[in-house]
Structure 1
Amino acid sequence: MTINKAESLSGGSGVHVWLVLWKAAQAVEAYAKRSIADSELCGSDFAVLEALLHKGALPVNEIGRKVLLTSGSITVAVDRLQGKGLVERRAHADDRRARIVHLTREGRKLITRVYAEHAADMERLASELSAAERATLIRLLKKIGFKAAATSKPEAEDHAS
């Protein structure tokens, strides 16, 4: 079956769904970045501090999994935040090889303020949707996201081809 460009970008085609989703994601990401721009935190630093604020002290590798950063990127982010006095590494109580990352008083103060402002900005954006629309959007995004994740090639296969 051959689909021409006009058909592929019409109403409910998979290509149209992807295009609308991609454009919306780009716009929302830009909005979110502007939301934290005045804080002088980059996106990865904000994500690390936010994870520590809401999850408590965590090992470096667990922070990386939660905020979707590679081990190298999370190490650089934690080093940068430690250099700014916003986090500190402490020895793990049960594993001498492991280090746990904690917010400092300054880090907690900063991320509490920045997160509150960011949450308000995200609420202003989401206010375009009713509660029912929000619930539907979340359900549908999870549905398509899980489908994409379940059918994606493993990363190693992608690089081999």
Structure 2
Amino acid sequence: MRTSFSQEELDRAMTLFHVFARAFKSISEHSIRDSKEHGFNPTEFAVLELLYTKGPQKLQQIGSRLLLVSGNVTYVIDKLERNGYIYREQDVKDKRSVYAHLTDKGKLYLDEIYPIHAMRMARAFSGLTEVEQEQLMALLKKAGVHSQHLIFR
């Protein structure tokens, strides 16, 4: 494992981190605005979006996919369930596993608002060409996988 870096490499890494953080904040503001506009906090909106785009999910998968701690997942799921957007269902094969599903109300609501959200996110990334967007996805995945690998060394 590499433990020594030139000053130039250190400076570039710090600049890259700051540019990445500012870009993430700027782009994520579009999603935050959407969630608030529709009466959800960003975490609630992210859970609904995940269930809408990926289908039913185990509660523990929701937390790991959205980078949430389990207490937050439980709170958000409870609130969304109370408001009629989702329901829980125990896995018949594994009684320890519980899935979150969208209700009909939740699906109908997401049918209405998700296309608007997708359009706004497309607009947020419209400063990049299609090729640049594909390159950015590939580079961010590569950086993320490498960084995650270093954590467990």
Is TM more than 0.5 here? yes
Aligned residues: 148
What's 2:130 paired with? 131
Query: Secondary structure in 1 aligned to 2:40?
Result: coil
In the TM superposition, what is the alpha-carbon distance from 1:108 to its structure 2 partner?
0.8
Query: Secondary structure in 1 aligned to 2:128?
Result: coil
Structure showing greater radius of gyration is: 1
The worse-fitting range, judged by mean Cα deviation, of 132-141 and 90-99 is 90-99
CA distance in 1, matches of 2:96, 2:148: 33
Task: Answer 1 or 2: higher relative contact order, Cα 8 Å, separation at least 6.
Answer: 2
Kept after mapping to 2: 8 A contact 1:46/1:111: no
After superposition, residues 12-27 of structure 1 pair within 5 angstroms as: 13-27=12-26
What's 1:63 paired with? 62
Q: Structure 1 residue 143 and structure 2 residue 142: aligned? A: yes
RMSD: 2.2
Normalising to structure 2: TM-score of the pair? 0.85
After superposition, residues 37-52 of structure 1 pair within 5 angstroms as: 37-52=36-51
Q: 1:80-133: per-residue Cα shift (whole Å, max 9, x none)?
A: 001101111123222334332211111111222222111000111111111111
Task: Give the % identical residues.
Answer: 28
CA distance in 2, matches of 1:48, 1:17: 29
In the TM superposition, what is the alpha-carbon distance from 1:59 to its structure 2 partner?
2.1
- Structure 1 residue ranges, 4+ long, deviating more than 3 angstroms after superposition: 1-4
Normalising to structure 1: TM-score of the pair? 0.81
For 2:108, the aligned partner's letter is: K
Kept after mapping to 2: 8 A contact 1:36/1:114: no
For 2:62, the aligned partner's letter is: I
Query: Secondary structure in 2 aligned to 1:26?
Result: helix
What's 2:98 paired with? 99
5+ residue gaps in structure 2? none
What's 1:77 paired with? 76
5+ residue gaps in structure 1? 155-161
